[in-house]
Amino acid sequence: MNVMDGGKTGGQAMVEVLRATGLRTVFSLAGAAHAPLLRDLELAGFHIVSSRHEAATVAAADGFARVSGLPGIAMIAGHQGLPNAIGGIRTAQLACSPVVLLASINEGSAESMDEETNDGLDMVKPYVKWARTVTNVDRIEEYLNAAIHQARSGRPGVAVLGIPTHLEAAPLRADRAVPTAKTVPAQAQPAAQAIAELADAIAQAQRPLVLSGSGAALSGAGPALRQLAQEFGLPVFGHALGRGLVPEDLDHGYPWALAQVAAKHADLVIAIGIRLQQRIGFGMAPRFAEAAVFAQVDIDAGEIGRTRTIDLPIQGDAAATVAALVKVLAERGQARFARDWVVEALAERLARIDELGRDEAAPIHPLRIARTLMERLPPETIFVADGADVYNWMSALMRMHSDRCYLDHYPLGSMGIGTPLALGAAAAARQIAEDTGTPPRPVVLVTGDGSFGFYPAELNSAALSGLKIVCLISNDGNWGTERNALLTRYGTTVNCVLGQRDYHLVAQGFGVAGEKIDRPADLAPAIDRALAADGTTVLNVLTDPDAGELRKRDPRLQMVTFEDLRSSLDAHHAMELR
């Protein structure tokens, strides 16, 4: 049977699988690698978001997945493209983002004896959750469904499907059709005894603390977490995609980066879908009290106790676990906790932050950007953070208020990846708006001048795809964190100076609006114009290069520590963060 006889091609079969998954958006680097599939996607009415670099293709699919809850689909050429894609792949994998990467594979590579590997996926296999090559067009539905299932199930991650270039146009044999759609498993329920023991620990605690991470967001734990915070008074510190599940009103919900100085006062720490990695101080002293009781809830049993001893380990889905805990606490008549200890621990830090960024004279302080945004952004805004120095400043003032509203480059820390993440987030906002008949959520990216330089061509992708991003560049003319570290330690800025370049003109060159802002009074009107515009706008904000030097010297302004070792954390906290 051939296509002219009414048969179906491999590409058409793939379109049906993607559509059945709820997808109408894919991300692709242009070229002949997936030409038949791209044609079929276009005919099916899919949004095809073109990108300019393979790492950005994967990162945009990652951003789409984080915001939409659907798998992000990235399409690239395998041979030349996979080396470029590694940064995006690792960012998505470490962020537990369900991404399916479709890589075209030269069908003759398995017979190669040259210096290249004869397995086109060798270079990515150590860094992804799943990688396979389909070699028979009659199994293409089966393999694509398997890739989507692997990307989404358990602890989500990146699945790579290698596809020989001819299969997307090849006809399927109708007599070889087999059911291949994967059944979505029920939520992994926690053991009742484990919930009872956690409820006992809460009853015995005086200062309980909940840490909410990406796993909580991926499982849809927001409603249950809000109940836990509002009905029983447990403060929830959000991190990564776990931010905003409980609105960060500094009463029930708090951003971890800001509120972490209070963590050492907690006598019970409940980690919900969060990995106790470097930014969380590995769950150990001095970030937390030595005697604190630790509970950890995770879908992946191998994650529990990775960096410290866990007193109350609970394997299970985060949403199911928190819902079960809320039910038990209500049945027991658990009293509501006061949160005065958090307020007191944050008072000095908040007062110091409040003093800065209010000067009406140039240059603009980075905190002015955050404060002005918070006065204007609706609560459903999707906020994307990038850079280093400005990333720290934004962490001091930006507050998240809704589910799946916060994206950044953590935990890999790949600079510049925020731009394609924002591209994917905007594409997700568009598809959600089309599916629900509601206005698209605004997408705001704040990045540094150094980080902006990695993927500026993705502005062209936004323009071509008709996507709206409000991008603010904190342009201090330097690799700010490195500059100020060198100044503080060695009195030099060698190899750290960039110059305050005209990035707004770069934006205009890629087909989007761009403005230069060099006076504090001009910032708010420019943000208003960008929010009201139909397309993407880049605001090139000239900021104070010396602001970061003060941050290096004042622990109250240090929201993010970039140290990777426990020994350096000890040194950092010897200053007693206040």
Q: Distances from the Cα of 571 to the Cαs of 257, 264, 285, 286, in angstroms?
A: 18, 16, 12, 10
| The predicted structure's pLDDT at residue 379 | 96
User: Which residues does residue 253 pair with via DSSP β-bridges, in sequence order?
Assistant: 236
| Number of structural domains the chain divides into | 3
Instruction: Output the six-digit token pair for 213.
Output: 């991470």
Mean pLDDT for all residues in the chain: 92
577 within domain boundaries: no
Residue 572 has pLDDT above 70, yes or no: no
The domain that holds 488 is classified in CATH as 3.40.50.970
| Same-domain check for residues 227 and 319 | yes
Non-local CB neighbours of 268 within 8 Å, separated by 6+ positions = 201, 202, 204, 205, 207, 208, 209, 292, 293, 295
Q: Can you tell me the mean pLDDT for 92-100?
A: 98
| Same-domain check for residues 240 and 162 | no
Of the candidates 311, 343, 375, which is a domain's last residue?
Answer: 343
Cis status, amide bond into 83, omega within 30 of 0: no
Of the candidates 132, 151, 176, which is a domain's last residue?
Answer: 176
| Same-domain check for residues 392 and 515 | yes
CB 210 within 8 A of CB 312: no
Residue 112 has pLDDT above 90, yes or no: no
pLDDT one-digit tens code per residue, 344-402: 999 999 999 999 999 999 999 999 999 999 999 999 999 999 999 999 999 999 999 99
Closest CA to 296 of 325, 272, 276: 272
pLDDT one-digit tens code per residue, 523-549: 999 999 999 999 999 999 999 999 988
| Same-domain check for residues 282 and 171 | no
| Same-domain check for residues 38 and 123 | yes
CB 22 within 8 A of CB 428: no
Non-local CB neighbours of 560 within 8 Å, separated by 6+ positions = 257, 279, 391, 392, 395
225 within domain boundaries: yes
| Same-domain check for residues 526 and 451 | yes
456 within domain boundaries: yes
pLDDT one-digit tens code per residue, 444-492: 999 999 999 999 999 999 999 999 999 999 999 998 888 888 888 888 9
535 within domain boundaries: yes
Starting at the earlier edge strand, list the strands of the sheet with 25-29. Answer: 47-51, 25-29, 72-77, 99-105, 158-164, 130-133
Q: Domain containing 495: what range?
A: 356-562
Under the banding of pLDDT at 50, 70 and 90, the label for residue 166 is very high
350 within domain boundaries: no
| The predicted structure's pLDDT at residue 169 | 95
| Same-domain check for residues 196 and 162 | no
| Same-domain check for residues 308 and 262 | yes
| Same-domain check for residues 430 and 404 | yes
414 within domain boundaries: yes
- Least confident span in 5-14, 128-137, 293-302, 404-413: 5-14
Closest CA to 263 of 153, 345, 365, 351: 345
pLDDT one-digit tens code per residue, 257-269: 999 999 999 999 9
The domain that holds 310 is classified in CATH as 3.40.50.1220
3-state SS of 332-393 is HCCCCCCCHHHHHHHHHHHHHHHHCCCCCCCCECHHHHHHHHHHHCCCCCEEEECCCHHHHH
Radius of gyration (C-alpha) of the chain in whole angstroms: 24
| Same-domain check for residues 514 and 431 | yes
| Same-domain check for residues 338 and 401 | no
Helix or strand run (H / E) with residue 297 = strand 293-298
27 within domain boundaries: yes
pTM here?
Answer: 0.94
| Same-domain check for residues 229 and 159 | no
- Count CB atoms within 10 A of the CB of residue 336: 10
Residue 175 has pLDDT above 80, yes or no: no
Of the candidates 176, 208, 229, which is a domain's last residue?
Answer: 176
**Is the alpha carbon torsion for 343, 349, 351, 354 positive or negative?**
negative
| The predicted structure's pLDDT at residue 488 | 81
3-state SS of 413-439 is CCCCCHHHHHHHHHHHHHHHHHHHCCC
| The predicted structure's pLDDT at residue 151 | 97
